[in-house]
Amino acid sequence: MNETPEPPAATTVPAPGQPRPSRRMAFAEQELRLISALVVLIGMGLFLALPFVLSIGSVVFLPLVTAILLTILLSPLADKLSGLGLPNVLASLGALLVFLTVVMLALALVLQPAVALFDELPAMADRVGQRFGELRDQFEWLAIANRELADLMGQSGAREVVLASPSVLEQLAFATPSVVLEVLLTFLMAFFMIEARVRLRRHLLFERSNFGSSVKAARVMREVQDRVAAYILTVGWINAGVGVIVALGAWLLGIEAPVMWGGLAAILNFVPYIGPLVMTAILALFGIGTTETLFLGLIPAAAYVGLHTVESNVITPSILGARFTMNPVMILIALSYFSWIWGVFGALLSVPILLTLTAFFDHVGRPNLIGFIFGEPLFKTNLLALGAEDGTSDPAA
């Protein structure tokens, strides 16, 4: 039985003068890489120029950023109060009042005993100076060697120029009106943002032409809100536990105002790496200034270092888990970046800002900067691969 041969499959032949699909794909790949390089350069320029803009306009931008973070943090509490039957305005105001109450209690725990200890600072400073004087006497040979080396280098006749600077009271007098204005702006903007959260969600879901993009925007907003709020609340409970342990330890060691030390430890623990270092230094100086020997003075600082080691390496990672794990290098970059812009307030806001940006880029897509240097696409979702799935590329390419 003779079988009829099947006709050959039809092949698409490009018209004369029309480039082949493989050449079009190569050109599209070069064009996409050029656009990606421009995006990277623009991003680097914004990263370098943004600190100058934010620092110069800190009166506007610092309250705005703080209000956005407060809105993300307090919106779940306002939703729960609304679920209990309260109107939206009262629920928003109640959430903000709860936060203000917690902040005022924390400051009262730290500031009130600190004012009582303020009169003892001169005596403590004298004791610290005596302890360091004893250490300097023990290492006098280093000072002698340094002077001899300076004489050999010809630097013995150097002069020092001391510039007059405003006193602490003058600096406080100049800074108080600006601080009060920024605090008022922050809480006013936070209240109106929390109150407008329902309208914003409705606008994202129902007032957009593309339903898919509106659902994605709502998911991004919900994910950022849940992640940042859960992180801050969880870290807040952990730091409160650290404060309680520090207060009990200070009470057992006979240190004055143990509640103040516990509150200070809890507040400083919100700033990763830098806060515990500052707390250790304060405890060391206080212990040296209030005890008879250097060894006894370092006991509180050593005990706190042990507590912080266990908390940061065992307790906090086990509670937070992988969802809130962030690169320590990125945390340090965020700390230095926002501390450079806004000082202490920037250090406190650095981790919530970093967490917000991380949650946002998890949905939008993180740029592959290291891989882009070696020829990989800037984003994991390759537009050219999507085009190949649609049949616009050459299968043989």
- Residue of 260, 290, 296 whose CA lies nearest to 125: 290
* Residue 10 forms part of a structural domain: no
Count how many Cα atoms sit within 13 Å of the Cα of residue 124 in the half-sphere of its side chain.
15
Secondary structure of residue 391 in the 3-state scheme: coil
pLDDT of residue 248: 92
Q: Out of 8-12, 83-87, 97-101, 253-257, which region has the weakest mean confidence (pLDDT)? A: 8-12
pLDDT of residue 397: 41
Residue 299, pLDDT > 60, answer: yes
- CA dist 80 → 86, 204, 261, 345 (Å): 9, 21, 33, 29
pLDDT of residue 245: 92
Q: According to the per-residue pLDDT averaged within each range, which of 151-160, 291-300, 373-382 is highest? A: 291-300
- What DSSP string runs through 50-89? HHHHHHHTHHHHHHHHHHHHHHHHHHHHHHHHHHTT--HH
Q: Out of 135-144, 335-344, 346-355, which region has the weakest mean confidence (pLDDT)? A: 135-144
How many domains are there within the chain? 1
Residue 28, pLDDT > 80, answer: no
* Residue 388 forms part of a structural domain: no
Residue 395, pLDDT > 50, answer: no
For the chain, give the percent of residues with pLDDT over 70.
66
Q: Out of 35-39, 179-183, 216-220, 300-304, which region has the weakest mean confidence (pLDDT)? A: 216-220
Choose between 66 and 136: higher pLDDT: 66
Backbone angles phi, psi at 214, to 5 degrees: -65, -40
Give the list of residues 6+ apart from residue 227 with CB closer than 8 angstroms, or none.
323, 324, 355, 359
Q: How far is CA 262 from the centre of its chain?
A: 23
Q: According to the per-residue pLDDT averaged within each range, which of 110-114, 334-338, 382-386 is highest? A: 334-338
pLDDT of residue 387: 46
Choose between 186 and 145: higher pLDDT: 186
* Residue 390 forms part of a structural domain: no
* Residue 198 forms part of a structural domain: yes
* Residue 252 forms part of a structural domain: yes
Tell me the pLDDT tens digit for each residue of 374-392.
Answer: 667 777 655 444 444 444 4
Choose between 348 and 289: higher pLDDT: 348
Residue pair 355/324 in contact by the 8 Å Cβ criterion: yes
* Residue 150 forms part of a structural domain: no
Q: Residue 291's domain spans which residues? A: 33-44+54-119+178-382
* Residue 391 forms part of a structural domain: no
Choose between 99 and 30: higher pLDDT: 99
* Residue 13 forms part of a structural domain: no
- Residue of 291, 278, 288 whose CA lies nearest to 135: 288
Residue 207, pLDDT > 70, answer: no
Tell me the pLDDT tens digit for each residue of 38-57.
Answer: 877 887 888 888 888 888 87
Residue pair 267/106 in contact by the 8 Å Cβ criterion: yes
